[in-house]
Amino acid sequence: MSVRVRRVYEPPEPDDGVRVLVDRLWPRGLAKDAARVDEWPKGLTPSTELRRWYHADDRPYEEFRERYEVELAAPEAAELLDHVRELTGKGPVTLLTASKDPERSHAEVLARLLQE
């Protein structure tokens, strides 16, 4: 199972497989056809409250990860996570985010959960 995280602003690559946008809002300045997004499960993204909490006052990533995992246990998010997990059984999946630091973002939390 191959899951990787990339910035949505990077050009698509042939080995991306299914490209899944994991941000709640569409990335600024990016045309939809240029992004080549196959799936956009908005219910899988962190809540607005959690996102704002994390970006305020440089909050610790580990605490963000724990809070986000609690949100992912809710029925709608868990169902969407299972759907993306099923996609990983069929081939590579690339999680796309506009985050400037993808390694310390929700996309990395998702990638880790999908690879478990």
pLDDT number for residue 1: 65
How far is CA 16 from each of CA 4, 11, 32, 58, 108, rounded to the nearest angstrom?
8, 10, 17, 31, 16
Exposed (0-12), middle (13-18) or buried (19+): which is 44, by Cβ within 10 Å? buried
At residue 86, the pLDDT reads: 95
Where do the domains of the chain lie?
3-115
**Amino acid in position 79:** E
Radius of gyration for the alpha carbons in the chain, expressed in angstroms and rounded = 13
Q: What is the DSSP letter of 46?
A: P
Give the model's pLDDT for residue 94: 97
Helix (H) or strand (E) holding 18, with range, is: strand 18-21
Low-confidence ranges of the chain (pLDDT < 50): none
State the pLDDT at residue 116.
Answer: 83
Can you give the pLDDT at residue 55? Answer: 85
Q: Provide the whole-model pTM.
A: 0.93
Exposure string of 9-37, with b = 16+ CB inside 10 Å and e = fewer, is eeeeeeebbbbbbbbeebbeeeeeeebeb
Question: Can you give the pLDDT at residue 59?
Answer: 87
pLDDT digits (tens, 9 = 90+) for 73-88: 999 999 999 999 999 9
